[in-house]
């Protein structure tokens, strides 16, 4: 089967908004809040929420809510599985397009 | 509008099979035939045909058919717009995930 000759890409991470979310979280090496992630990935609230849920369901991010002065702040952070999956995906992209991490 | 703060990715190229097709064509710097591209991207005939049509409609590849001993061989080659778009997309990915081309 030709289909078995190449590794199938991680589509959870490859999707453009989720790729940006994961990259921002990995670079930050810390939790980022919803407002920052919205800027990073240029998504609407609903869209960002859906992408974060997809990443959460895959076990790649952890979400923490914090009440600050009557408002709820949402923090998102990479899990170790998420960090591993992101790095694997980056290596895979490097292999395909011929780039290398700094 | 938050949506306008980030550049939208080229989804024609970002899709995993098309990314592999474009990368293979750029590396080869020559036409590749359908059979090679099938191996490169691990797609079925129908699937590969559809991806090549999408790339053709975007003006990124040119398709040439050649009759060889009663069979038709299909050659695919990057256009200069395709090469430019692929390189732009790679720079964009580098920027997001922090990789650099060799």
Cβ neighbours of residue A93 closer than 8 Å, sequence gap 6 or more: A99, B93, B97, B99
CA separation for the pair A85, B11 (Å, rounded): 22
Structural domain contains residue B1: no
Structural domain contains residue B78: yes
Tell whether the model's pLDDT for residue B44 goes beyond 50. yes
CATH number at residue B21: 1.10.10.10
**Buried b vs exposed e over A12-37: b needs ≥16 C-beta within 10 Å?**
bbbbbbbbbbbbbbbeeeebbebeeb
A90 — pLDDT class (breaks 50, 70, 90): very high
SS3 B77: strand
Measured between beta carbons, which residues in chain B are less than 8 angstroms from residue A44?
Answer: 2-3
pLDDT digit string (tens) for B66-87? 998 889 999 999 999 999 999 9
pLDDT value of residue A2: 45
Cβ atoms of A101 and B100 closer than 8 Å: yes
| Nearest residue on chain A to B6, alpha-carbon basis | A42
Cβ atoms of A18 and A55 closer than 8 Å: yes
Proportion of chain A above pLDDT 90, given as a percent:
66
Tell whether the model's pLDDT for residue A57 goes beyond 90. yes
Structural domain contains residue B2: no
pLDDT digit string (tens) for A36-53? 999 988 888 889 999 999
Q: Does A4 touch chain B (CB under 8 A)?
A: yes
CA separation for the pair B86, B66 (Å, rounded): 26
pLDDT value of residue A3: 46
In total, how many domains does chain B have?
1
- Average pLDDT of B20-37? 93
Q: What is the ipTM, given to two decimal places?
A: 0.82
More confidently predicted of B73 and B2: B73
Mean pLDDT value across chain B: 89
Q: Give pTM, 2 decimals.
A: 0.86
Structural domain contains residue B57: yes
Proportion of chain B above pLDDT 90, given as a percent:
66
Structural domain contains residue A102: no
CA separation for the pair B49, A61 (Å, rounded): 37
Mark yes or no for CB contact B40/A98 under 8 Å: no
Measured between beta carbons, which residues in chain B are less than 8 angstroms from residue A34?
Answer: none
A98 — pLDDT class (breaks 50, 70, 90): confident
Mark yes or no for CB contact B99/A96 under 8 Å: no
Cβ neighbours of residue B89 closer than 8 Å, sequence gap 6 or more: B9, B10, B13, B14, B19, B22
Residues spanned by the domain of B85? 9-96
Measured between beta carbons, which residues in chain A are less than 8 angstroms from residue B2?
Answer: 38-39, 42-44
Q: What is the DSSP letter of B9?
A: P
Structural domain contains residue B102: no
Cβ neighbours of residue A78 closer than 8 Å, sequence gap 6 or more: A22, A25, A26, A60, A61, A62, A86
Structural domain contains residue A99: no
Measured between beta carbons, which residues in chain B are less than 8 angstroms from residue A42?
Answer: 2-6, 8
Sheet holding B61-68, edge to edge: B32-33, B71-78, B61-68
Q: Does A93 touch chain B (CB under 8 A)?
A: yes
- Other CB atoms within 10 Å distance of the CB of residue A93: 25
Tell whether the model's pLDDT for residue A4 goes beyond 60. no
Structural domain contains residue A1: no
pLDDT value of residue A100: 67
More confidently predicted of B37 and B2: B37
pLDDT value of residue B102: 56
């Amino acid at each position: 089967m030709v289909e078995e000759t190449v590794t199938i890409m991680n589509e959870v991470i490859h999707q453009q908004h989720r790729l940006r979310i994961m990259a921002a979280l990995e670079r930050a090496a810390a939790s980022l809040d919803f407002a920052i992630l919205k800027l990073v990935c240029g998504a609407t609230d609903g869209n960002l929420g859906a992408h974060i849920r997809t990443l959460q369901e895959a076990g790649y991010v952890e979400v923490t809510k914090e009440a600050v002065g009557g408002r709820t702040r949402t923090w998102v952070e990479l899990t170790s599985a998420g960090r591993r999956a992101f790095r694997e995906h980056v290596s895979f992209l490097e292999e395909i397009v011929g780039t290398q991490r700094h």
